């Protein structure tokens, strides 16, 4: 992987992809397949977007041709797929401003003082930057037993784990950690869950104790977490052993500077047409960040959208280029 990390960065490329999640990485492959020089920018320090940051070990079930693939493996495979075309990765760079040069080409400035001049821009920013909703009683133990992500489940082997939350992330972490941890308990303030029923059933079948109508009122321990105090809505309380507390309370999404670019947006999503083109010249978008009638937000849908965006961007960069260059199977091996 070619990684540009020195600042300031001044780069010229044919396609700039903003967002290094699955859609962006597939876009890097497809742009390379079309013979286009490509740069991929992301505010995170590693490729993979939400998949790498939030659920690298979680099996993903909606990728065509794979009954299940771990998030980490999916990202590694996407990087390997794009690698022969040598895209440049500008990781740890937030795209903050968009302007146009005298030739009408987009110029993107980063928060690190760099600029990227491109023939076209494809925004694949997912939900934008995301920050976890804090566990009110636990910030003093952050990094000392309290975590918001579980990038390496093995780190929590043989521990007593308390997972806080009732959504898919909470139940996914509980299911992932149950075979490794000494014990796993899930605490939710309601008796109904936002998580998919099948995931809830899986967690129950693994013997995880699900504690409802309760919340974590305090974390105990000098230095590292040793226990979690649980307070029920009826006023009763109990103390659970816990060396790891996973707070899966959701995330706050923020599109940040993108909202000032003049893009046609609503509810944190960018409006696109059937070409994945936005209202701005030479700017396209794909993946979860886009919106149009009938939109379905799946990783697999994002793959098709970014291929459409790249193909249409190619014809903007070179009006003589074909919209559809043919199938990859028709190329020389």
Bind-site residues: 42, 50, 55, 95, 130, 288, 329
Of 147, 99, 93, the C-alpha closest to 280 is 99
- The rounded distance, in Å, linking the Cα atoms of 172 and 194 is 12
SS3 239: strand
| Burial per residue of 211-222, b for 16 or more beta-carbon CB atoms within 10 angstroms, e otherwise | beebbbeebeee
Question: What radius of gyration, in Å, describes the C-alpha atoms of the chain?
Answer: 22
- The rounded distance, in Å, linking the Cα atoms of 128 and 208 is 33
- The rounded distance, in Å, linking the Cα atoms of 263 and 48 is 24
Which DSSP string corresponds to 80-103?
Answer: HHHGGG--EEEET--EEEEEE-TT
Q: What kind and span of H or E run contains 230?
A: strand 227-232
Of 327, 193, 281, 304, the C-alpha closest to 290 is 304
- The rounded distance, in Å, linking the Cα atoms of 162 and 227 is 9
Binding positions for FAD are: 42, 50, 55, 95, 130, 288, 329
Residues, the chain? 333
């Amino acid at each position: 992987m070619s990684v540009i990390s020195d600042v300031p960065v001044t780069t010229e490329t044919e396609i700039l992809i903003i967002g290094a999640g699955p859609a962006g990485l597939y876009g890097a492959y497809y742009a390379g397949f079309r013979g286009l020089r490509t740069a991929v920018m992301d505010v995170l320090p590693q490729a993979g977007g939400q998949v790498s940051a939030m659920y690298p070990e979680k099996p993903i079930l909606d990728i065509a041709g794979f009954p299940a693939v771990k998030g980490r493996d999916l990202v590694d495979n996407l990087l390997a797929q794009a690698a022969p075309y040598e895209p440049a990765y500008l990781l740890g760079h937030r795209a903050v401003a968009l302007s146009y040069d005298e030739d009408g080409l987009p110029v993107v400035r980063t928060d690190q003082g760099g600029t990227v001049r491109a023939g076209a821009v494809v925004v694949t920013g997912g939900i934008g930057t995301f920050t976890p909703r804090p566990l009110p009683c636990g910030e003093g133990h952050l990094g000392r037993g309290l975590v918001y992500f579980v990038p390496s489940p093995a780190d929590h082997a043989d521990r007593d784990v308390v997972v806080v939350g009732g959504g898919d992330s909470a139940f996914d972490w509980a299911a992932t950690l149950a075979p490794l941890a000494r014990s796993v308990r899930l605490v939710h303030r309601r008796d109904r869950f936002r998580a998919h029923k099948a995931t809830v059933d899986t967690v129950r079948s693994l013997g995880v104790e699900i504690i409802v109508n309760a919340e974590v009122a305090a974390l105990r321990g000098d230095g590292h977490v040793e226990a979690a105090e649980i307070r029920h809505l009826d006023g009763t309380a109990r103390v659970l052993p816990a060396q790891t507390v996973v707070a899966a309370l959701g995330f706050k999404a923020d599109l940040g500077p993108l909202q000032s670019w003049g893009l046609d947006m609503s509810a944190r999503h960018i409006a696109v047409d059937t070409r994945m083109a936005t209202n701005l010249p030479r700017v396209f978008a794909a993946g979860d960040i886009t919106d149009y009638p009938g939109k379905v937000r799946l990783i697999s849908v994002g793959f098709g959208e970014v291929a459409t965006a790249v193909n249409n961007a190619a014809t903007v960069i070179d009006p003589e280029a074909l919209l559809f260059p043919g199938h990859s199977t028709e190329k020389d091996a």
